[in-house]
Amino acid sequence: MQIYLPIAEVSVNAFLLLGLGGIVGVLSGMFGVGGGFLMTPLLFFIGIPPAVAVATEANQIVASSFSGVLAHLKRKTVDLRMGTVLLIGGLVGAAVGVQIFAALTAIGQVDLLVKLCYVVFLGIIGGLMFFESLRAIRRARSPAGAAALPRRHRGWIHALPLKMRFRTSGLYISVIPPLVVGVFVGVLAAIMGVGGGFIMVPAMIYLLGMPTKVVVGTSLFQIIFVTGFATLMHATTNYTVDMVLAVLLLVGGVIGAQIGAAIGVKLKAEQLRILLSIMVLLVCGKLAFDLLVMPDELYVIGFDGAGH
C-alpha cells in the first residue's frame, strides 16, 4: 500500500515503514537503546530527504521514550535535579544544532555533516563495544579473570567550581560537566536525529560517576525534553517534521520493542552487545563506503528543505 508523505513529498510503501519501525523496535527492545541512530540512516537509504528524516526521527524518539520515562518515574530511578541540569545544557545545544542544520542546508553541506557525524560516532561506539564485549566473553571463558573494574575518580572534575548536591545520585559535583554533556547531546540530537543516549549513558557512568540504576531513567528524562524541543525547532525553522511518517514508524516501533524485549531476556548480555556492535559497525561501514567511493552520479540536485 503506497502512502504519500505530505512533508517529505515522496510516496513510500506504508508496510515498508511499519516494517522498518518494527525491526528497529525489535533491536531497541533487545538492546535497550533508543534506535534513532539506526532508524535515521535507514530512512536515508529508502529515499527520505535527510532533513525530513532527522526532524521526524526526533519526533518519533519523544513518543517512543515517553512510556519508559513514566516507568522510571514510578520506580523513582530518575535523578530529577541532574536531569534538569542536563536538560538545560541540552536545550541550548539543540537550539544551536538546529541553527547549524539550517545554515548547512542553505550551503548544501547538511548531508555531508550528518553522514560524517554518523560515521564518526557509530565507528567509535561500535568499535569500543565490539572489543569490550570480546574481552568480556574471553574473561567469562577463562576462570581467573572476573574482576570488576574499579570506579575511577576523576580529580579535575571535583576541582571545578559551582558545586551542587545531587541527592538521588549521591553526588556533590560541579554543574559544569553535566551542562557540557547536555549541550553536546543536544547538538547531536538536532543534527543527527538521535536521542543521544549512546553518548550520555557512558558519560554519566564514567565521567560523572552516577550510580547505574538512575542512569537510564535520567537520560530518558533528558532525551524526551531535548528531542521534543528539537522537534518544535525543526518544525518552526525548517518545516521538516512529517507527522504521517512519524506515526507509521512509531506504531511499528512500539510493537517491535515489545517483541525485542522478550527476545532480549533469553540472550546473554555479552552476546547481545557483540550483535549490536556488529550491526552498528555495518551501518557505519555502509555510510563510510558511500563517502569514500566515487559515486556513480557526481551531480546532485540541491534539496532546499521541504518548504519551497
Partner 1 sequence: MARLIGICALALLLAAPAQAERVVAGLSQEAIAITTNFAGSEILIYGAVQRAAPPPGAEPLEVIVTVQGPSQPVTVRRKERRFGIWVNADASQIDEAPSFYAVSTTAPLAQALSQTEDLRHRITLNQAIRAVGTGRADQPLFNAALIRIRSDDGAYQLNEGAVRFREQTLFDTAVRLPANLTEGDYLTRIILTRGGVVVDLHEQLIPVRKVGLERWIYNLAHERPLIYGILSLVIAIAAGWMASAVFRYMRG
Contact positions vs partner 1 (CB under 8 A): 1-4, 6-7, 9-11, 59-60, 62-64, 66-67, 108-109, 111-112, 116, 228, 231-232, 234-236, 239, 241, 243-244, 246-247, 250-251, 253-255, 258, 291-295, 297-302, 304, 307-308
Distance CA 273, CA 271 (A): 5
Place of cell 538492546: 31
Nearer to partner 1, 258 or 271 (CB): 258
Strand-pairing partners, residue 171, are 166
Query: Please, which residue, 36 or 209, has the CB nearer to partner 1?
Result: 36
CA–CA gap between residue 159 and residue 168 (Å, rounded): 22
Nearer to partner 1, 117 or 134 (CB): 117
User: Quick check: 17 and 11 in contact, CB under 8 A?
Assistant: no
Single-letter residue type at 215 = V
Q: Among 135, 134, 130, which Cα is nearest to 285's?
A: 130
Q: Minimal distance in Å, beta carbon 111 to partner 1?
A: 8
- Whole-number minimum distance, CB 201 to partner 1, in Å? 22
Report the nearest approach of partner 1 to the CB of residue 128 (Å): 23
Give the span between the Cα atoms of 156 and 235, in whole angstroms.
40
Find out whether 49 and 305 touch, Cβ atoms under 8 Å.
Answer: no
Q: Name the residue nearer to partner 1 (CB basis): 107 or 146.
A: 107
Q: Which is nearer to partner 1, 67 or 271 (CB)?
A: 67
Q: Pick between residue 59 and residue 219 the one whose CB is nearest to partner 1.
A: 59
* Residue-level length of the chain: 308
Give the chain's end-to-end CA distance (angstroms, integer): 27
Q: Is 10 helix (H, G, I), strand (E, B) or coil?
A: strand
Q: Which of 191, 185, 228, 187 is nearest to 110 (CA)?
A: 191
Phi, psi of 225 (to 5 degrees): -75, -40
Helix (H) or strand (E) holding 112: helix 110-141
Please identify, using beta-carbon distances, which residue of 161 and 302 lies nearer to partner 1: 302
Cβ–Cβ under 8 Å, residues 56 and 64? no
Beta carbon of residue 68, minimum distance to partner 1 (angstroms, whole number): 10
Rounded to an integer, what distance in angstroms lies between the CA atom of residue 170 and that of residue 111?
42
Grid cell locating 268: 546473554
Choose between 184 and 229: whose C-beta lies nearer to partner 1: 229
Q: What DSSP element (H or E) covers 41?
A: helix 36-45
